[in-house]
Structure 1
Amino acid sequence: MRSLLLLVSIALALPVQAEDKVVNLYSWADYVAPATLARFEQATGYKVRYDTFDTPEVLETKLLTGGSGYDVVVPSSSVLARALKAGGLQRTQQQGMSGYANLDHDLLGKLAVVDPGNQYAVPYTWGTLGLGMNVEAVRKRLPDAPLNSLDLLFKPEYASKLADCGIAVIDSPQEVIGLALHYLGKDPYTSDKADLAAAAELLHKLQPSVRYVANGRQISDLANGTVCLALTYNGDAAMAADQAKKANKPFEVAYRIPREGTLIWQDNLAIPKDAPHPEAARAFIQFMLRPDSVAALTNTLFFANANQAATPLVDEAVRNDPDIYPPAEVRNRLFADQSMALPDLRQRTRLWTAFRTRE
C-alpha cells in the first residue's frame, strides 16, 4: 500500500514539476524577437507561453482583478502605478541582476516617480507619441507647413487640407488629451475643468478632418497610402516606413517628434503578485537585461530600448535616427506618462467619447 501511495504521489507531482519550467508572458504582439525567445528557452530550459493584448486597459483589468496566471507582464508606467496602488505586483529583485547597471538612468528616474526605489519594474522599451506621415502627400497640400509641428493636427486650416488624404488618431484618451493640453500650454495631467474644456474644443475642431480613431490600423494604412497623417507611436510609424520601402511605394513615410514637445512613453517588465512561477519570471527578466536580447527587438520594431549597452548592437540607421533615439535637448521637451485618479480618468473618458462619436 505504501509503495502504491508513493507511486501515486510521484505521478501527481510530475505535471506540477513540468509546469514549473514554464514562463507565462503577457505582452504586446511581437514584443520579444522570436530568436530571443528561442535562445532563452535553449539556455534555461523554460518554455515561454506568449499571450498578447491589444490595449493597455485589458492588461490593467487582469492585474487589478488578480488570478491572471501570468508570470511576466509589460505595463506602461501609468498602468504600473495603478497596479502598484492595488497591490497587484511583487518585487522583481532586479537590482542584483547582471546588466541592471546598463539601464538608462533618465528612464529609471522617470519610472521612480511611480515605482519609488525601482523595486517593482524594469524599464524595457520607450518612445514618443508623434506624427507619422506620407511626406509627399502632406507636402503637396501644405508646401510651407512645418512637418514637425502639431499645427498639422490642431490648426483647422492645416488639418482640413489633409482630410481628403486621411488623418488617423490613436484610440488612447489619456495620451491624446494630455498631448492636446500640452499643445495649449497646460499641464498634461490637469483636472482643471477650464483646461479640459479648452482641450475638448481643440479636439472638436479637429473632428471633421479625422478619418478614424483606432489602434493597430495606422501601420498598414500609412504604408499603403490610405492615410497621409497619423498621430501614432514612433515605432509604428517606423514599421510603416519599412513596409512602404520594401513594397517600393512611390512615397516616403516618415515620423517626426513634435517641436512643441510630446509624451515619452515607457513600457516595463513586471511580475504579478500571484505569478505562478516567480523564479522563472526573474530568469526571463534577467535574460532580457542582456544587450543582445533587447537589441533584436529594436532592430525589428524600431522602438528604442532602455539598455544603453545594447545601443552599439542596434542597426546604425536606427540608433542614429533622432526620432527614435532623440538627443538630450529634445528629450528635455518630453513629458512622462503619469498615473491619474479614477475620477479624473472618467472625466477624460467622457471627453474622449464625445470626440470619437462626434457629439
Structure 2
Amino acid sequence: VLPVAMLYAGKPAYSRAVADYSAAEKLLKSVRPYVTRFSSSGYINDLASGQLCVVMGYSGDINIARARALEANPKAPAAIQALVPKGGATLFFDSMAIPKDAPHPGNAHRFINYILRPEVHAALTNKVFYANPNAASLKFVNKDVAANPTIFLSDADQQRMTPPDAVPQDIRRVQTRVFTSFKAGR
C-alpha cells in the first residue's frame, strides 16, 4: 500500500527522505474513510461474488477472482479487471532456494527441476495467473492468460514497476508509523 501511495504522490516508492512520507500519509488519510477492510487474501471470494466493488490487491488474486466470477456466471460480462496503476506499482517475484543445511538437497533439486519443466511452469501460470520467466513454457500457457496484460506486462507497464528495496531502519520506522496510522484511521 505505502509504496504505491508514494508513487502516486510523485515520490520514490522506497524513498530515503523522511519528508517524502508525509505526502503518502496525507493521501492515505484522504481515502481511509472508504476502506472497509484490510485482508491479504480474503478479498478474492468477496470480489468474485460481488460483495466488494474495488480492491487493492495482487494481480494474480484479482485475476483468480475474475475467473471465479466468470465460472459462476459465464454469460456475465467480465466486470472484474486487474489494472496496473498509471503512477506505477511494486513488482514482486517468487523464488526457490535450498538451504545449505537441507537434509535432502537432491530432492529439492528434483522438485525445482520439475517446476521448471515448461508444461508444469505453464500449468502454474494458468492456475494462479502470475507470469513466469520460462520462455519455453509460453507455448503451454492458455491463450487468454498469455494475452492478459496484467499477467504478462507490456514493456511500458514494466517500466512503471518498482522492485522491492531494503530501506534503513529509521525509514522503516517511518513506514511502519504511516501504515499503522492509516490502518487505525488516525
In the other structure, the counterpart of 1:318 is: 145
For residues 107-146 of structure 1, the aligned pairs below 5 Å read none
Provide, for residues 121-168 of structure 1, a one-character-per-residue CA deviation record: whole Å limited to 9, x for no partner: xxxxxxxxxxxxxxxxxxxxxxxxxxxxxxxxxxxxxxxxxxxxxxxx
In the other structure, the counterpart of 1:260 is: 87
Q: Matches of 1:333 and 1:199 in 2, distance apart?
A: 18
In the other structure, the counterpart of 2:133 is: 306
Q: Is the 8 A contact 1:263 1:336 kept in 2?
A: yes
Deviation at 1:281, TM superposition (A): 1.3
Q: Is the 8 A contact 2:18 2:174 kept in 1?
A: no
Match of 1:201 among 26, 34, 41: 26
Deviation at 1:204, TM superposition (A): 0.7
Provide, for residues 280-337 of structure 1, a one-character-per-residue CA deviation record: whole Å limited to 9, x for no partner: 2122112222111211111111111121111111000100111211121221121112
In the other structure, the counterpart of 2:185 is: 358
SS in 2 for 1:317: helix
SS in 1 for 2:156: helix
Deviation at 1:340, TM superposition (A): 2.7
Deviation at 1:346, TM superposition (A): 2.9
Matched, 1:186 2:11: yes
Q: Is the 8 A contact 1:219 1:236 kept in 2?
A: yes
TM-score normalised per structure 1: 0.49
In the other structure, the counterpart of 1:211 is: 36
Q: Matches of 2:99 and 2:16 in 1, distance apart?
A: 30
Match of 1:223 among 44, 48, 52: 48
Deviation at 1:193, TM superposition (A): 1.6
Q: Matches of 1:198 and 1:310 in 2, distance apart?
A: 42
Q: Matches of 1:205 and 1:273 in 2, distance apart?
A: 47
AA partner of residue 201 (structure 1) = K
Where does the alignment leave 5 or more consecutive residues of structure 2 unmatched?
none
More displaced, 248-257 or 331-340?
Answer: 248-257
In the other structure, the counterpart of 1:38 is: none
Q: Matches of 2:173 and 2:102 in 1, distance apart?
A: 30
In the other structure, the counterpart of 1:242 is: 67
More displaced, 332-341 or 205-214?
Answer: 332-341
- How many residue pairs match? The answer is 184
Provide, for residues 151-186 of structure 1, a one-character-per-residue CA deviation record: whole Å limited to 9, x for no partner: xxxxxxxxxxxxxxxxxxxxxxxxx11111111111
TM-score normalised per structure 2: 0.92
Q: Matches of 2:148 and 2:140 in 1, distance apart?
A: 14
Q: When you count strand as a share of all residues, which structure comes out higher?
A: 1
AA partner of residue 61 (structure 2) = D
Q: Is the 8 A contact 2:16 2:167 kept in 1?
A: no
Deviation at 1:268, TM superposition (A): 0.7
Provide, for residues 69-104 of structure 1, a one-character-per-residue CA deviation record: whole Å limited to 9, x for no partner: xxxxxxxxxxxxxxxxxxxxxxxxxxxxxxxxxxxx
AA partner of residue 180 (structure 2) = T
Q: Matches of 1:195 and 1:186 in 2, distance apart?
A: 6
Give percent identity, aligned residues only: 35
For residues 75-154 of structure 1, the aligned pairs below 5 Å read none
Deviation at 1:241, TM superposition (A): 0.5
RMSD value, Cα: 1.6
In the other structure, the counterpart of 1:117 is: none
Q: Is the 8 A contact 1:266 1:337 kept in 2?
A: no
